[in-house]
A and B are shown apart, each in its own frame.
Chain A
Amino acid sequence: MRRIISVLVENEPGALSRIVGLFSQRNYNIETLTVAPTEDATLSRLTVTTSGNPQVIEQITKQLNKLIDVVKLVDLTEGHHVERELMLIKVRASGPLRAEVKRTADIFRGQIVDVTSSVYTIQLTGTQDKLDGFIESIGQAQVLEVVRSGITGIARGEKVLSL
């Protein structure tokens, strides 16, 4: 089962390698990983998506909590949450396809952020499924390059992950 674990870590050199190392050392999966400093410069927020049975997920959160650099963490998938991923996708757009690509991007609420005579670069945000759906709609043959940020997320409502 897919899980999104959101972690507040000390913004220290080596903190990320401890977390990533823990996953490989204990044979856990990392499907996506995003990390950036927060509004408090001493903290970074890291979002990792992983999968495993409930025992494995429990171990992952416990082992993460044991790391000295980890301040707090939450399994976002335990409650209501919003999740987003950002994708930049470069698509062939020439001839009759050009209008079709634009139309599809509009349907998916994508934005064209760069244009050449034969290529559109489209920015799209949404859930993993939505981004997958867009690639499918455009058709693999037209896709020149894809870059995705990995999933990030936040709990709905009053719940916050902070110090």
Chain B
Amino acid sequence: MELLSGADMVVRSLADEGVEYIYGYPGGALLHVYDAIFRQKEVTHILVRHEQAATHMADGYARATGKPGVALVTSGPGATNTITGIATAYMDSIPMVVLSGQVPSGFIGTDMFQEVDMVGISRPIVKHSFLVKKAEDIPEVIRKAFHIAQTGRPGPVVVDIPKDITDLTKKYEYQYPDKVKIRSYNPPAKGHNGQIRKAVELLMKARRPVIYAGGGVVLGQASDLLTELARKLNVPVTNTLNGLGGFPGSDRQFIGMLGMHGSYCANKTMHHSDLILAIGARFDDRVTNNTEKFCPDAKIIHIDIDPASISKTVTADIPIVGPVDTVLENMLRQLDEYQGSQDDAALAEWWASIDSWRERGLFPYEKGEGILKPQQVIESLYQVTKGDAYVTSDVGQHQMFAAQYYRFNKPNRWINSGGLGTMGFGLPAAMGIKLNFPDQDVACVTGEGSIQMNIQELSTCLQYDLNVKIINVNNQALGMVRQWQDMQYDSRYSHSYMESLPDFVKLAESYGHVGMRVTRPEELLPAMEEAFSLKDRLVFMDIQVDPNEHVYPMQIKDGNMCDLWLSKTERT
């Protein structure tokens, strides 16, 4: 058997796990590991400029590919800088493994230089964590970390590695385990047959059914099955923010995103439904509005791999715990065998209502005179990329506009921090995707507030030729904060405006990239086309938009799902 040092075992285990890229930043506690990285070729390390970006790169990669992303950071501040990234992944159930250096075992607890209790600090935001005790344990711990991160409901796993364990002078027998067994961890492999039968019966008998599909469909790689089911039943489908792309956005049966900034049609359909089939969604507060007024006539079938997500905020009538794909396969099979037929007349009537709600357009807005609207930016992005780009976003108005106006027809293309709402996520996430899909268009839709939260990564982009397109929807304000201040605080703009903005064009140029400024509506489309024609350059498009635009529709606080502001003056 081969003899390896602890440091070499860390890197080799990653290679044996099939990891191609890791994102990280060196430091004292990791110097042995970085030496091991230097001496091999299987795993490529990408040097970020801030550890938060390493986690978001890993996250972006994971969301686009379904495979766990890997970050490597040193002890102390290196580790604490990953916390936002880990929490981001945790909230959206993204598989990720974060390897952190730690002070030598014998010094843990002595407040040594760059010591922090990483396992403790990260505890509430990880699926699990390990503190490696012995070098011999490294392969098994890493194997377990990857297993836990990507099975069941995925999530981030931290592996904290004390420096002495990676000592280059001490060598141990290395073998990467084929299998892993954790007696206390057995995620469900399939749903309960009888529950699925009951669900099928309800679906066949429903007069006003709707499918409410979330990020679990994307994570569970069940988009095709969802589409098949929806077509077979002729049921309208709405997606959550994180579910977008899980059902084709251009499909006739798609009624738009639901929730706080969801379409009038989706929220109306939900509210008036008599049966909700919730798939991989978690009845989040940004969807339900007031849970006591939530969809009063609807029975709820809830499919989720995590039993704790079921009946957490809204009680399910038929809970089905299991992986979305196997549950949907079973459901489709049982539908085929079902004796009886749907009430076609009721369904036709239901579709007539839905189409009447759809008539006003899913997301209507008024174009301005001589001033660009942020919505137009996304529409032109959609047009130029033919709906086929990977689109990441930061957080705020631009995120909602991207979700509303870019119609995602494929899963894993829409990459945003839905649960935690992390500003600074978009650029590094886009970088993680571009690195792995160099021939694809990758756009980061951002704002002048968010982009400044990880703008240092423009340097990483230059180093590794990560030619993403940055679509900076610049309204010179923290738009979403400003919108709430307009609506609830008599337009008292407490710290929601951005003074002293940099010249983003020059800034991009100083990092060695292409900067473009767009100020007038007629300049937008040609500039967008030019940006995407520059395949081998990062282009930073600073697009000046109307600072007074709001995101609509918007649910009215404490109301039901379809109590909405439809514009600044019009409400339901």
Contact = CB atoms under 8 A, between A and B. Distances in A.
Given A68-B128, A70-B184, A21 B308 contact: no
Interface in B421-449: none
Nearest to B119: A14
B368 interface: no
Nearest to A62: B308
B308 A14 contact: no
A68 B152 CA distance: 11
B184 A68 contact: yes
Contacts of B182: 68
Interface string A27-54: 0000000000000000000000000000
A59 interface: yes
B308 A17 contact: no
A66 B119 contact: no
A66 B308 CA distance: 8
Contact of B311 (A18, A55, A65): A55
Contacts of B308: 59, 62-63, 65-66
Given A21-B124, A58-B311, A163-B183, A66 B306 contact: yes
B321 to A, nearest CB: 10
B192 interface: no
A68 B131 contact: no
A65 B188 CA distance: 13
Interface string B472-493: 0000000000000000000000
A123 to B, nearest CB: 35
Contacts of A85: none
A13 interface: yes
Nearest to B309: A62
Interface residues of A, number: 20
B120 interface: yes
Contacts of A65: 307-308
A127 B131 CA distance: 39
A63 to B, nearest CB: 5
A21 B119 CA distance: 12
B185 to A, nearest CB: 5
B312 interface: yes
Contacts of A75: none
Interface string A1-37: 0000000011001100110010001000000000000
B126 to A, nearest CB: 10
B283 to A, nearest CB: 13
Interface string B289-313: 0000000000000000011100110
Contacts of B70: none
A152 to B, nearest CB: 21
A66 B182 CA distance: 13
A21 B306 CA distance: 20
A75 to B, nearest CB: 15
Contacts of B120: 17
Contacts of A10: 184
B123 interface: yes
Report which residue of A62, A65, A163 has the largest number of chain B beta carbons within 10 angstroms of its beta carbon: A62
Contacts of B123: 14, 17-18, 21
B127 interface: yes
Contacts of B131: 13-14
Kindly state the interface size class of chain B when it binds its partner: 10 to 19
B219 interface: no
B312 A59 contact: yes
A57 interface: no
Contacts of A58: 311
B184 A69 contact: yes
A68 B183 contact: no
Given A59-B312, A68-B185, A71-B183, A25 B124 contact: yes
A65 B120 CA distance: 20
B148 interface: yes
Contacts of A55: 311, 315
B438 to A, nearest CB: 36
A68 B284 CA distance: 24
B307 A62 contact: yes
B402 to A, nearest CB: 31
Contacts of A68: 127-128, 148, 182, 184-185
A65 B306 CA distance: 10
B151 to A, nearest CB: 11
Interface string B515-534: 00000000000000000000
A112 to B, nearest CB: 41
Contacts of A71: 183-184
Contacts of A13: 131
B304 to A, nearest CB: 11
Interface in B117-136: 119-120, 123-124, 127-129, 131
A74 B123 CA distance: 24
Contacts of A18: 123
Interface of A: 9-10, 13-14, 17-18, 21, 25, 55, 58-59, 62-63, 65-66, 68-71, 163
- Rank and list the top 3 A-B pairs by shortest CB-CB distance, nearest first: A62-B308, A71-B184, A68-B128
9 contacts: A17-B120, A21-B124, A55-B311, A58-B311, A59-B308, A59-B312, A62-B308, A66-B308, A68-B148
Given A17-B123, A70-B184, 12 more contacts: A13-B131, A14-B123, A14-B131, A58-B311, A62-B308, A65-B307, A68-B182, A68-B184, A68-B185, A69-B184, A71-B183, A71-B184
